[in-house]
Amino acid sequence: MLEIKNLKKSFGGIMAIAGVNFNIKQNTISAIIGPNGAGKTTLINLISGIYKCDSGKVIYKNKDITNLAPHKIVEKKIVRTFQNLQVFANMTVLENVMVGMHSITKYEFINCILHFPMVKKQDKSIKEKSMEILKFFNLEKKANFRASALPYGEQKKLELARALAANPELMLLDEPVAGLNLTEAKMISEILLKLKEDFNITILLIEHNMNIVMDLSEKIIVLHYGEKIAEGTPTEIQNNPLVIKAYLGGSCIA
Amino acid sequence: MKKFYITLLIIAVVVLLLSTLIKSSYFLLILNLIALNTIIVIGLNLLIGFAGQISLGHAAFYGIGAYSSAILTTFYNVNPWIAMLLAVFITGIIAYIIGIPTLKLKGHYLVMATLGLNIIFSIIIVQWEVFTGGPDGIAGIPYLQIGSFSFDSDKKILYLCWFFALLSLIVAYNLVHSRVGRALMALHNSEIAASCLGINVSKYKVKIFVLSAMLASIAGSLYAHYVTFISPETFGIMFSIKLIIMSIFGGMSTIWGALVGSGCLTIISELLNFVKDYSTIVLGLILVLVLMFIPQGVVGYITQLKINNEK
Amino acid sequence: MKNILQFILSGLTTGSIYALIAIGFSVIHNATGIVNIMQCEFITYGGMLTVTFYIFSKFPYFIAIPLSIICVSIMAGLFERVVIRNSKSKDIIILIFITIGASIFFKGLALLIWGSDPFMLPPFSGNQPIKIFNAVIIPQNLWVIGISIITVILLHLFFHKTITGKAMRAVANNKKAAQIVGININRIVFLSFVIGGFLGALAGIIIAPITTTSYDVGFMLGLKGFAAAILGGYGSMGGSIIGGILLGLLENLGAGLISSEYKDVIAFVVLILVIYVKPSGILGLAKVERV
């Protein structure tokens, strides 16, 4: 479904991504892991169109989507979340999810200003759909709270809910459980499984929490200094000497 | 939703009442200026308060509206209504062309660029005398008319000004509570996150810029056909600053703030004429104190009080 | 061929003034993130206080000038302490408009104190024009350029050789990190205003013998200084100097060679075009947004 071909990106002489190749199959959960600074987030930024790559290709469903603008990528039903939360703080929880539906709704300025009945109808229907999504995430009671008033864990969930609202086929999740406690992390990983099973969403995630990564993913890609050093099932990765070396290095920091 | 329209109705009734009670044309003028300023400030609220893009150059769009109307009617004998429409169109095109490169800028650079554009506009209308009448401005601009009914007095034009003012409030209200409004608020929060949800950030920024410029242009045309005389100093950088002060004063992330802000500041600056030499000092002091202690603006402050009470 | 050298000389003079003002803007920006419109009033009060001390109190220049600069620096510091620090909102746009409000206030005050007539300060040393090739330069221009150069050198030394200066640069780079290593941000902000006041006053004083000074002289000069800072890259001292000189040259060459009525148009058009092409100014670094 998603093919990354020899992708390269450098920032002022530093190779952040040095020719990475991999494939993601439909309706799977895959993970990108690697030490800090390995280029994981850069990779997601390249796929989602935030950075332009220097060379290489991103192919999605046999179509070249390399260097498309972020909002065009969303039209291809690829949605991402962020490592450092990017919920819209001064909007309500419900409005956050409704913004998520931007790409699946229409009506531009003129229609919105004139507020025709069909605009009202569409607004009503996305409001209902958004409430359903909030229910799925167990956030419906806080629909009218300001997003900034939610605790961290719920903001993390809200960002997932907002991404789900865009009706994606592929989700790119940048550290979905970072900073969460054990129960919260477990809850998110259950949600992710449900997204895959019930919504048929393909997931590519970056995560440092190895328990989650090993539990969820069918495939793991290991990055180190912008290069892919291993790829395989959780068991293969756990026993790969290169990976162990990259993680443990010469020092003893795991 | 209903509450909004009821409030609107109440305001309309109050304005109508005032218009029958007030005999002095000076007070009617103030009432009309409040309406005109509201039209511009609501556009600024959408641009600054909702979409998060600062413009220190909106007096120029007000001026482009006024001068287009004036030039078209006095030089080319165009019907005032058509002139007004053309003016909105011209302003829209200019704002679009300027907006594309300008709105790529952020923060202080955006402030500087819009401010610079306003200064350029001011100099051009003073220097390009053949067209703009130079520092003397343009006189003898015709009144707006419907059939044989001419909007030729303070009272008659009041209906027109307030019609447009209330209409622009409705426009803003509808826009804010729609897909577009949510997208604007989203890109205000985080442009990257907004674009990753499918929002074409640069397109939306330019569009809201154009809309706010067009609103300013309408106000400008109304002003020209109302006062029938325009001159450059009305459209200078000081007025741009005043407009933003109105926006902040009322509460720039609110709809009613536009009305409250332009109402309060228009009245305050007229009242200050009574203290003559001290007027600028007092104005400056009011500004500093309001911004220091109620930075969310009058309407923003009231809304916050309400929320706190509910809790 | 018109006298280009003449235009360049006057360009360098106004350019130096713009550069000083631009540095004032930049220093305060680096500590606070705001555009301090009060800079305009620092310029006005520098010039007008010198008028008061020199013309009315009959102090000699070497007392009147330092005294004015000290007064303005104190005024700038007090403004930070009393107004900026006590603002409820730390939102940049609110703070900017507070400085605009304060600027309106002080402009009104200046009008009350000194009236609307312009004042002329005598040049620091003689009025005998000096001939350089086919251009003439009055000594005051040399004073302006010389004092500006010395000020810039002293500032450079301050920012690179003293602990306080280094702390200010650290704050400009990364406020949080600076705070963590124990730098007192409040003190740095205060100091930045004092330096801003110093530079504004100095600029207002040394230009006064050339252009006259009045209660509203600071507004246009301040605006140009802000433009210069943006042109060079906001927040950078090198950028401010380049932006200032460039703007001064642009104005004078534009006025001399193209049209004096449209000199500001030319200057601002070039300014806007530059930031369209390079949205962070000439020396500004483009930021890669991290997410």
Determine the average pLDDT of the residues in A110-135: 91
Which helix (H) or strand (E) segment holds residue A57: the answer is strand A55-60
In terms of CA atoms, which chain C residue is nearest residue A48? C291
Give per-residue pLDDT as tens, A186-236: 999 999 999 999 999 999 999 988 888 998 999 999 998 888 988 999 988
Question: Rounded CA gap, C254 and C260, in Å?
Answer: 7
Is there a contact between A65 and A116 (Cβ–Cβ < 8 Å)?
A: no
Nearest CB to B179; choose among A48, A105, A114:
A105
In terms of CA atoms, which chain C residue is nearest residue A41? C291
Neighbours of chain B (3+ CB pairs under 8 A): A, C
Q: Which residues contact C173 (CB under 8 A, 6 or more apart)?
A: none
Name the stretches of chain C with pLDDT < 70: 1-2, 285-291
Question: Rounded CA gap, B168 and B44, in Å?
Answer: 12
Tokens describing residue A64: 């070249």
Contact check, Cβ <8 Å, A113/B175? yes
pLDDT at site A107:
86
- Name the minimum distance, in Å, from the CA of C91 to any CA of chain A: 14
Nearest CB to B180; choose among A48, A87, A109:
A109
Best of A9, A36, A43, A45 to disrupt the C interface by mutation (most C CBs within 10 Å)? A45
Q: What is the ipTM of this complex?
A: 0.89
C89 in B contact zone (CB under 8 Å): yes
pLDDT at site B207:
96
Neighbours of chain A (3+ CB pairs under 8 A): B, C
Contact check, Cβ <8 Å, B175/A103? no
- Name the minimum distance, in Å, from the CA of C249 to any CA of chain B: 18
Long-range contacts of C170-175 (CB under 8 A, 24+ apart): C171/C30, C171/C31, C172/C30, C172/C31, C172/C235
Q: Which residues of A touch B185 (CB under 8 A)?
A: 88, 90-91, 95, 99
pLDDT at site C92:
86
B153: left (phi over 0), alpha (psi -120 to 50) or beta: beta
Q: Which residues of A touch B175 (CB under 8 A)?
A: 109, 112-113
Cα separation of the two ends of chain B: 22
User: Count of CB atoms within 10 A of residue B235's CB?
Assistant: 27
B198 in A contact zone (CB under 8 Å): yes
- Name the minimum distance, in Å, from the CA of B74 to any CA of chain C: 26
The phi, psi pair for C126, rounded to 5°, reads 55, 170
Contact check, Cβ <8 Å, A91/B189? yes
Architecture field, domain C4-277: Orthogonal Bundle (1.10)
Q: Which candidate, A31, A13, A83, places its Cα nearest to that of A205? A: A31
Name the stretches of chain B with pLDDT < 70: 1, 311
Question: Rounded CA gap, B203 and B97, in Å?
Answer: 12
Question: Rounded CA gap, C221 and C243, in Å?
Answer: 14
B182 in A contact zone (CB under 8 Å): yes
- What rounded mean pLDDT belongs to chain A? 90
Query: Domain coordinates of chain C in residue numbers?
Result: 4-277
* A50 three-state secondary structure: coil
Contact check, Cβ <8 Å, C291/A11? no
Contact check, Cβ <8 Å, A102/B190? no
pLDDT at site A250:
47
* A219 three-state secondary structure: strand
* Residue C271 Cα distances to A204, B59, B103, B114, B124, angstroms: 45, 20, 15, 12, 17
Q: Which residues of B touch A90 (CB under 8 A)?
A: 185, 189, 253
Contact check, Cβ <8 Å, A102/B197? yes
C221 in B contact zone (CB under 8 Å): no
Q: Which residues of A touch C289 (CB under 8 A)?
A: 50
Q: Running DSSP on this structure, what letter comes out for residue B244?
A: H
Q: Which residues of C touch B286 (CB under 8 A)?
A: 101
The phi, psi pair for A175, rounded to 5°, reads 50, 65
Question: Taking a contact as any Cβ pair under 8 Å apart, which residues of chain B between 158 and 217 contact chain C?
Answer: 192-193
Is there a contact between A199 and A9 (Cβ–Cβ < 8 Å)?
A: no
Contact check, Cβ <8 Å, B180/A89? no
Q: Running DSSP on this structure, what letter comes out for residue C182?
A: T
Tokens describing residue C41: 């009033």
B238 in C contact zone (CB under 8 Å): no
Determine the average pLDDT of the residues in A8-23: 88
| pLDDT confidence band for A252 (50 / 70 / 90) | very low
Q: Is the pLDDT of residue A156 over 70?
A: yes
pLDDT at site A253:
41
Question: Rounded CA gap, C254 and C160, in Å?
Answer: 36
Question: Rounded CA gap, C8 and B146, in Å?
Answer: 59
B117 in C contact zone (CB under 8 Å): yes
Is there a contact between B53 and B209 (Cβ–Cβ < 8 Å)?
A: yes
Question: Rounded CA gap, B140 and A1, in Å?
Answer: 69
- Name the minimum distance, in Å, from the CA of C220 to any CA of chain B: 11
pLDDT at site C262:
87
Question: Taking a contact as any Cβ pair under 8 Å apart, which residues of chain B between 243 and 262 contact chain C?
Answer: 244-245, 248
Is there a contact between B258 and B42 (Cβ–Cβ < 8 Å)?
A: yes
Query: Domain coordinates of chain B in residue numbers?
Result: 2-236
Domains of chain A: 2-15+22-52+67-88+150-248 (3.40.50.300)
Question: Torsion angle, CA of B219/B222/B227/B232, rounded to 10 degrees?
Answer: 50
Q: Which candidate, C56, B22, B191, places its Cα nearest to that of A71? A: B191
pLDDT at site C8:
92
Q: Which candidate, B280, B221, B269, places its Cα nearest to that of B243? A: B269
Q: Which amino acid is at B300?
A: G
* Residue C135 Cα distances to B288, C2, C4, angstroms: 48, 11, 9
In terms of CA atoms, which chain A residue is nearest residue B193? A86
Give per-residue pLDDT as tens, A86-113: 999 989 999 999 999 999 888 888 888 8
In terms of CA atoms, which chain B residue is nearest residue C89? B295
Is there a contact between B220 and B33 (Cβ–Cβ < 8 Å)?
A: no
Neighbours of chain C (3+ CB pairs under 8 A): A, B
Question: Rounded CA gap, B136 and C264, in Å?
Answer: 20
* Residue B83 Cα distances to B40, B80, B131, B286, angstroms: 19, 5, 16, 39
Q: Which residues of B touch A100 (CB under 8 A)?
A: 197
Question: Rounded CA gap, B96 and B203, in Å?
Answer: 10
Best of B178, B192, B199, B211 to disrupt the A interface by mutation (most A CBs within 10 Å)? B178
* Residue B160 Cα distances to B35, B36, B144, B225, angstroms: 9, 10, 10, 11
Q: Running DSSP on this structure, what letter comes out for residue B216?
A: H
Best of C95, C104, C288, C291 to disrupt the B interface by mutation (most B CBs within 10 Å)? C104
